[in-house]
């Protein structure tokens, strides 16, 4: 396998990625698998930041649809991301990967507050940084938080690890004839209303020419392959090829 194509990346994981074959919570085997995937990239000398969702524990949008105040529901969702981040930190450190969790909502007893310069310094020192609690604001998803943090730390690419092997023109889980897209622009994602990330995240990435690669997390070695430039998944890029 060739060397890494990128020096600094942001890896976005959904909370559902930690479910494994469970319906709720954190699957120990799955979080160990994720930690090993990150460890493989870490071993290449790549600077790694992560953002993880909280949908395996609590989803603010779903709760608000049942009548809960959206701001309260979203704050609960932010706390769920902190739980996942601490669990992933523990799994990474068991793989001998020095890791720091930074939260957008201060909770100094369990994690550092998010400070950009400190985060960059951690990365420069070879530590993995996990950004928890989204942006710290309701009505913004962890996808948007990932796009924002990627831009702030000057990541070269945003890697979106999912349960499918790329972006399709329709939902491949419900449509057997869905066509996989190898390459697409940010604008096309917005125009076609493809549900890979929310529109705010895509718009932010488009404005700042941040490439996004969407790929299947569940296949062993995929994270390393993407980082090394292999054509895995779907690349979302700027308008200029």
Residue 195 domain flag: yes
The residue-averaged pLDDT of 221-229 equals 97
Give me the half-sphere count of Cα atoms (radius 13 Å) on the Cβ side of residue 214: 25
Residue 106 domain flag: yes
Give percent of the chain with pLDDT exceeding 70: 99
What is the reported pLDDT for 190?
Answer: 95
Range(s) of the domain holding residue 69 = 8-237
The total domain count for the chain is: 1
Residue 141 domain flag: yes
pLDDT digit string, tens, across residues 37-88: 999 999 999 999 999 999 999 877 777 777 889 999 999 999 999 999 999 9
Name the band, by pLDDT with cuts 50, 70 and 90, for residue 163. confident
Residue 231 domain flag: yes
pLDDT digit string, tens, across residues 165-191: 999 988 877 888 889 999 999 999 999
What is the reported pLDDT for 1?
Answer: 62
Task: Spell out the residues 6+ positions from residue 192 whose beta carbon is closer than 8 angstroms to its own.
Answer: 169
pTM comes to 0.94
Residue keyed to tokens 């469970």: 22
pLDDT digit string, tens, across residues 84-103: 999 999 999 999 999 999 99
Q: Are 167 and 234 in contact (CB under 8 A)?
A: yes
Q: Are 44 and 2 in contact (CB under 8 A)?
A: no
Residue 34 domain flag: yes
Q: Report d(CA 35, CA 225) in Å as an integer.
A: 16
List of E strands, the chain: 8-13, 47-52, 99-103, 112-113, 128-132, 157-162, 167-168, 180-181, 183-185, 212-216, 234-237
Q: Inform me whether the pLDDT recorded for 215 exceeds 80.
A: yes
**Which CATH number fits the domain that encloses residue 23?**
3.40.1160.10
Q: Return the structure tokens found at 138.
A: 């309701």
Residue 215's CB: how many other CB atoms inside 10 A? 23
What is the reported pLDDT for 172?
Answer: 79
Q: Inform me whether the pLDDT recorded for 26 exceeds 90.
A: yes
Residue 2 domain flag: no
Arithmetic mean of pLDDT over the chain: 94
Residue 1 domain flag: no
């Amino acid at each position: 396998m060739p060397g890494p194509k990128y020096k600094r990346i942001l890896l976005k994981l959904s909370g559902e990625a930690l479910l494994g074959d469970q319906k709720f919570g954190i699957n120990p085997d799955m979080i160990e698998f994720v930690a090993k995937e990150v460890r493989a990239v870490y071993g290449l000398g790549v600077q790694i930041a992560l953002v993880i969702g909280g949908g395996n524990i609590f989803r603010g949008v779903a709760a608000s649809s049942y009548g809960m105040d959206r701001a309260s529901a979203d704050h609960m969702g932010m706390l769920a991301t902190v739980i996942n981040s601490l669990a992933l930190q523990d799994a990474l450190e068991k793989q001998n990967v020095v890791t720091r969790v930074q939260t957008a909502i201060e909770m100094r007893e369990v994690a550092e507050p998010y400070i950009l310069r400190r985060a960059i310094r951690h990365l420069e020192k070879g530590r993995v940084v996990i950004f928890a609690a989204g942006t710290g604001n309701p009505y913004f998803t962890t996808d948007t938080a990932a796009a924002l943090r990627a831009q702030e730390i000057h990541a070269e690419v945003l890697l979106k690890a999912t349960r499918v092997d790329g972006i399709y023109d329709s939902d491949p889980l419900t449509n057997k004839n869905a066509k996989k897209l190898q390459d697409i622009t940010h604008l096309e994602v917005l125009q076609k209303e493809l549900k890979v990330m929310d529109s705010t995240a895509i718009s932010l990435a488009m404005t700042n020419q941040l490439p996004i690669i969407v790929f299947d997390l569940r296949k062993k070695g995929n994270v390393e392959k993407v980082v090394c430039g292999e054509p895995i998944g779907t690349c979302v890029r700027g308008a200029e090829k």
